[in-house]
Amino acid sequence: MTPELQGKVGLVTGGTSGIGRDTAVLFAKAGAKVVVAGRREVEGKETVELIRGATGSDAVFVKADVSKAAEVDALVQRTVEKFGRLDVAFNNAGIEGHWVPITEQSEEDWDHTIDINLKGVWLCLKYEIRQMLKQGDGGTIVNMASAAGLMGLAGAATYSASKHGVIGLTKSAALENARSGIRVNVVCPAVIETPMADRAYEEPAIHKFVLGLHPIGRFGKPTEIAEAVVWMCSDRASFMTGQSLVLDGGLLAGPNPPK
């Protein structure tokens, strides 16, 4: 069977660890040439080496802050300079910010979280779609939201608001570009075993409580989300656009009764 992304050029932001790193590797295994973007150069180059070691495929790391328009524009242009085009993108870069009540949230932290999680996705969409429209033969984009983009999250209102915003952006971008053959979707994981989750739920009591909200009885693994993103970017998902794919271990299905 031909790999799902054979001959494609893929871009992954936030590709320095976790879900982004696993997706970048799976993009390459699916046949794509991959550009890995992030702010941490050492970790980004580690991802590139993982790609080369696993697939022998060509890959490159580009240091970029997705909250800055000039850097996102340069990232897309670097992708085109290196590989000639852009076919698939996973806008994954994000931060958790400081999880405190709204009354204690600083304006600085609000701005920083929204800049990375929401403005960053908007900027990536803007420059990725421009390039895909210029090419004239479509493309696929997946944005990273969260189960928190579909529910309230006490103590993490800024993070939740940013992810709600990503879902709205995704739907709007999908509508604007459907007739151009550009599909835009969003993935909404619950808690995944990543450095971000380790930071957010490091206290044993909090970890136990949050784990109990997942009826499946465990947190997700980065590769489980990466596999879904690859499918969403492939022609096997060709009738899917403007949609939110929830991968949450049952979290949103309703309250999990105590055992």
The total of other beta-carbon atoms located within 10 Å of residue 123's CB is 24
Ramachandran assignment for 181, one of left (phi > 0), alpha (psi -120 to 50 degrees), beta (any other): left
pLDDT in tens, 69-128: 999 999 999 999 999 999 999 999 999 999 999 999 999 999 999 999 999 999 999 999
In a 3-state reduction of DSSP, which class is residue 60?
strand
Alpha-carbon gap, residue 141 to 137, rounded angstroms: 14
Reported as a pLDDT band with limits 50, 70 and 90, residue 259 is low
Domain boundaries, given as residue ranges, for the chain: 9-246
Q: What is the CB-side half-sphere exposure of residue 186 using CA atoms within 13 A? A: 27
Our answer to whether residue 201 is catalytic in this structure is no
What is the average pLDDT score of the chain? 94
Strand partners, 137: none
Number of residues written out for the chain: 259
Q: Check residue 246 and give its pLDDT.
A: 98
- Contact between residue 227 and residue 221 where contact means Cβ atoms under 8 Å apart: no
What number is the average pLDDT over the span 151-164?
95
Q: Which two tokens stand for residue 192?
A: 């995944």
How wide is the angle at C-alpha 20 spanned by C-alphas 15 and 23, nearest 5°? Answer: 115
How wide is the angle at C-alpha 57 spanned by C-alphas 56 and 61, nearest 5°? Answer: 115
**Share above pLDDT 90 across residues of the chain, in percent, rounded to a whole number:** 85
Hey, what long-range contacts does 75-80 have (CB within 8 A, 24 or more apart)? 75/11, 75/13, 75/35, 75/37, 75/127, 76/11, 76/127, 76/128, 76/130, 76/131, 78/35, 79/9, 79/11, 79/35, 79/131, 80/131
Which of 213, 95, 72 lies closest to 163 in space, CA to CA?
95
Q: Which two tokens stand for residue 22?
A: 């696993």
pLDDT in tens, 23-63: 999 999 999 999 999 999 999 999 999 999 988 888 999 99
Find the catalytic residue in 91, 159, 226, 243: 159
Give strand ranges (E) for the chain. Answer: 9-13, 33-38, 59-63, 88-91, 139-144, 182-189, 244-247
CATH class of 9-246: alpha beta
Alpha-carbon gap, residue 107 to 141, rounded angstroms: 31
Q: Check residue 13 and give its pLDDT.
A: 98
The total of other beta-carbon atoms located within 10 Å of residue 76's CB is 25
